[in-house]
Amino acid sequence: DVKVTQSSRYLVKRTGEKVFLECVQDMDHENMFWYRQDPGLGLRLIYFSYDVKMKEKGDIPEGYSVSREKKERFSLILESASTNQTSMYLCASSLRSSGGGWQFFGPGTRLTVL
Amino acid sequence: EDQVTQSPEALRLQEGESSSLNCSYTVSGLRGLFWYRQDPGKGPEFLFTLYSAGEEKEKERLKATLTKKESFLHITAPKPEDSATYLCAVETSGSRLTFGEGTQLTVNP
């Protein structure tokens, strides 16, 4: 079974802090994604990567950056956390051959910025 | 701009009471439509992929269908363990998905 793990289930940070969210997948997937999920807004794509060191902006990249130095690991960085970044963050991965749709998700990180 | 709209937002059923969830979409070239299930506090879990109008997929009490403008997730004789949020998503280009807001299903015993 594909496993996608995220470094923390719950995280509390202060405004202005630099925040790192880590995601690791164990099935050699080329594609990796970062979403945030908010009530009434659904899942929104922040960034995705289709290969090591490659990244593409999603629909809401402002205030975020990403890093993919190894195929299995995709990091989301909040350079200076703000209260409007309080959200559930979900990481996903998929095989390039399956396109983007058959995505396997991690359990999520619930981030609170005070 | 690709848009996905799911209805209803919430649905409450009695055990055994069949119903359908709707996902309507406007996209500029559908590559696939996906249904996911999400339990509270967990990430979405893949259920079905549909690629062309007229296609149907089934899994236990769930059946997904696709037309040129919408998809339905039919739930036959649901059980309490079917309670979850059901998400619909479309893939258009570049391996990206656009998600609807989901339908929160509650099945009472």
* Model pLDDT for residues A38-69, shown as the tens digit of each residue: 988 889 999 999 999 899 999 999 999 999 99
Task: State the average pLDDT over residues B43-49.
Answer: 93
Max CA separation in chain B (angstroms):
43
Min Cα separation A75/chain B (Å): 17
Interface mutation target, options A37, A43, A89, chain B, most CBs of B under 10 Å: A43
**Chain A positions touching chain B (beta carbons under 8 Å):** 4, 31, 40-45, 48, 50, 56, 58, 90, 92, 94, 96, 99-108
**Which pLDDT belongs to residue B78?**
97
Please give the pLDDT value at position A100: 63
Per-residue pLDDT tens for B5-23? 999 999 999 999 999 999 9
For residue B29, what pLDDT is reported?
82
Q: Computed from CA positions of residues A86, A40, A100, A5, in that sequence, does the dihedral angle turn out positive or negative?
A: positive
Which chain B residues are within 8 Å of A101, Cβ to Cβ?
A: 31-32, 34, 49, 89, 91, 97
B56 touches chain A (CB under 8 A): no
Helix (H) or strand (E) holding B91: strand B84-91
Residues of A in contact with B42 (CB under 8 A): 107-108
Distance between A16 CA and the closest CA of chain B, angstroms: 27
**Does the bond joining B80 to the residue before it have cis omega, within 30 degrees of 0?**
no
Question: What pLDDT sits at residue B2?
Answer: 84
Low-confidence ranges of chain A (pLDDT < 70): 1-2, 97-100
Q: Best interface-test mutation with B: which of A93, A97, A103 has the largest number of B CBs within 10 A?
A: A103
Instruction: Please report the pLDDT score of residue A75 as a whole number.
Output: 97
CB distance B67 to B53 below 8 Å:
yes
Q: Is A3 helix (H, G, I), strand (E, B) or coil?
A: coil
What's the mean pLDDT when you consider all of chain B? 94
Distances (CA, A) of B53 to A68, B27, B66: 37, 14, 5
Residues paired with residue B91 on neighbouring β-strands, in sequence order: B32, B97
What does the angle CA B63 – CA B44 – CA A82 come to, to the nearest 5 degrees?
145
- Confirm or reject contact between B78 and chain A (CB < 8 A): no
Q: For B99-106, what is the mean pLDDT?
A: 96
Q: What is the pLDDT of residue A2?
A: 62
Environment class of residue A83 by beta-carbon count within 10 Å: exposed (0-12), middle (13-18) or buried (19+)? exposed
Q: What are phi and psi of A60, to 5 degrees?
A: -135, 60
Beta sheet of B56-59, edge-to-edge order: B3-7, B19-26, B70-75, B62-66, B56-59
Mutate to test the interface with A, among B5, B9, B96, B98 (most CBs of A within 10 A): B96
8 Å CB contact of B101 and A41 = yes
Percent of residues, chain B, with pLDDT higher than 90: 83
Q: What's the whole-number mean pLDDT along residues B79-83?
A: 97
Q: Output the six-digit token pair for A100.
A: 């983007």
